[in-house]
């Protein structure tokens, strides 16, 4: 479809942290730095790990906990180094079919919500079953990239 795509993601490991009771913007900032320290060597092997994209943020309706995640690079998928920060953990996300809506520009929490609502509306109108109680935001660019930015919102197919 021109306004969204359906992607199949394989099972994969992500390094994540949950930030509680902050605004989405502040949670993303705090979570990013916790995960960035992990890839800079704050792990059991004191190993530097390449930064990957996207950076995702799990948004659950009516909840002020935000789970921020980095994709673990392919070469570390089998045995990612364990975090030494007790707030950081490795999680395995199961294979899933995900509805994705892409958009450009600098994405604010309001813009992510607006795009997620637009995607939900389209999916409902087309009779596509999806998990409506949560969505992910996905950012692909460094804050220093000014043009041709790529952002996404994800809903999991039922």
Q: Where residue 41 sits, what CATH number does that domain have?
A: 3.20.80.10
Q: What's the residue count for the chain?
A: 158
Under DSSP, is residue 9 helix (H, G, I), strand (E, B) or coil? strand
pTM of the predicted protein model? 0.95
pLDDT at 143: 81
Q: What is the residue range of 63's domain?
A: 5-156
Give per-residue pLDDT as tens, 30-81.
999 999 999 999 999 999 999 999 999 999 988 999 999 999 999 999 999 9
**Contact status, residue 86 vs residue 52, Cβ threshold 8 Å:** no
Under DSSP, is residue 151 helix (H, G, I), strand (E, B) or coil? strand
Q: How many domains does the chain have?
A: 1
Q: Are strands 55-60 and 134-139 parallel, antiparallel or unpaired?
A: antiparallel
Instruction: Please say if the pLDDT value at position 154 is more than 80.
Output: yes
Counting Cβ atoms within 10 Å, is residue 57 exposed (0-12), middle (13-18) or buried (19+)? buried
The C-alpha atoms of residue 39 and residue 83 are separated, in whole angstroms, by 9
Of 40, 6, 33, 41, which is closest to residue 17 (Cα–Cα)? 33
pLDDT at 142: 87
Counting Cβ atoms within 10 Å, is residue 87 exposed (0-12), middle (13-18) or buried (19+)? middle
């Amino acid at each position: 479809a021109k306004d969204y795509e359906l992607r199949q993601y394989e099972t994969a490991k992500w390094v994540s942290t949950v930030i509680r009771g902050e605004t989405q913007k502040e949670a993303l900032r705090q979570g990013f730095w916790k995960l960035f320290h992990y890839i800079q060597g704050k792990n059991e092997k004191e190993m530097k790990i390449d930064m990957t994209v996207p950076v995702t943020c799990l948004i659950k309706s009516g909840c002020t906990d935000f789970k921020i995640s980095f994709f673990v690079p392919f070469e570390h998928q089998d045995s990612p180094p364990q975090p030494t920060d007790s707030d950081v953990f490795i999680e395995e996300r199961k294979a899933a079919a995900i509805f994705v809506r892409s958009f450009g520009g600098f994405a604010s929490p309001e813009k992510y919500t607006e795009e997620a609502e637009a995607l939900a509306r389209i999916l409902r109108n087309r009779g596509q079953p999806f998990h409506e109680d949560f969505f992910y935001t996905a950012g692909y660019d460094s804050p220093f990239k000014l043009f041709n930015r790529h952002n996404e919102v994800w809903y999991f197919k039922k």
